[in-house]
Amino acid sequence: MQIIRHSEQTLKTALISKNPVLVSQYEKLDAGEQRLMNEAFQPASDLFGPITLHSPSDWITSHPEAPQDFEQFFSDPYRKTPSPDKRSIYIQSIGSLGNTRIISEEYIKWLTGYCKAYFYGLRVKLLEPVPVSATRCSFRVNENTQNLQIHAGDILKFLKKKKPEDAFCIVGITMIDLYPRDSWNFVFGQASLTDGTGEVD
């Protein structure tokens, strides 16, 4: 087992940008927001706690990637930002999200509240739930788990067609396993940055 822990200085270097545009935003933070920012980098903070790698098959170990600091993220030419006419996040539930309708509704209510808090300033809207059959996606039964799985790429195509004009993005939510291609066992989610579509299971 391996534990990855970053120092306060490492976090500040990676996450606090010197870009003039962002610096001007930092200066506009109120006292409470500044306090939250300062507390986030303390060793006892839960926000950037240590990461425990349990085995060589953990994602970080088995999929090595170059690190990306906030400055690189902010300057990425492919990064999309909301505009005055595209400020809504749409949530599309696909299939049942629980054993009962009440459980499904509670789950969506919780998810909506989380999105409103995390993506502060954007509207969060719910689309009418659809059955899996409405997506016309390919599917299979996983030979190892015997679970039904639906094709992630097909779901993204469905979401792209359903994306409203005022949408910044549309996110599909399902409790059914996803797979991106025949050679993969499963995937937790998939997204298209250019299309503003994504899905999680």
pLDDT of residue 75: 85
CB burial class (10 A; 0-12, 13-18, 19+) of residue 53? Answer: middle
Does 168 map to a domain? yes
Q: Considering the domain boundaries, does residue 100 fall inside one? A: yes
Are residue 93 and residue 192 in the same domain, yes or no? yes
Which pLDDT does position 152 carry in this prediction?
95
Same domain, 92 and 22: no
Domain boundary among 17, 41, 75: 75
The pLDDT score that the predictor gives to residue 192 is 93
Give the strand pairing for 88-93 and 51-53: unpaired
Residues 32 and 95 in one domain: no
Based on the structure, what is the number of domains in the chain?
2
* Position 59 in a domain: yes
Same domain, 105 and 177: yes
Domain assignment of residue 15, given as a range: 2-75
Whether residue 14 is contained in a domain is answered as yes
Of 75, 97, 118, which one is at a domain's C-terminal end?
Answer: 75
128 in a domain, yes or no? Answer: yes
Print pLDDT tens along the chain (201 aa): 788 877 778 877 877 788 888 888 888 888 888 888 777 777 777 777 778 888 887 878 888 888 888 888 888 888 888 999 999 999 999 988 877 777 788 888 899 999 998 898 899 999 999 999 999 999 999 888 898 999 999 999 999 999 999 999 999 999 999 999 998 888 999 999 889 999 998
Judge if 61 and 120 occupy the same domain: no
How far separated are the first and last CA of the chain, in Å rounded? 27
Question: Which CATH number belongs to the domain containing residue 156 in this structure?
Answer: 3.40.390.10
Which of 28, 51, 75 is the last residue in one of the domains?
A: 75
| pLDDT at residue 53, as a whole number | 82
Q: Are residues 137 and 182 in the same domain?
A: yes
Q: Based on the fold, state whether residues 53 and 109 are members of the same structural domain.
A: no
In terms of domains, do 107 and 176 share one? yes
In a domain, 147, yes or no: yes
User: Are 50 and 120 in the same domain?
Assistant: no
For residues 71 and 6, state if they share a domain. Answer: yes
Closest CA to 183 of 161, 155, 151, 158: 151
The whole-number pLDDT of residue 180 equals: 93
Write phi, then psi, for 51 (nearest 5 degrees). Answer: -105, 125
Does residue 118 form part of some domain? yes
> 194 and 103 share a domain?
yes
Q: Does 9 reside within a domain?
A: yes
pLDDT at 9: 80
Structure confidence at residue 163 (pLDDT): 97
Q: Return the pLDDT at 140.
A: 93
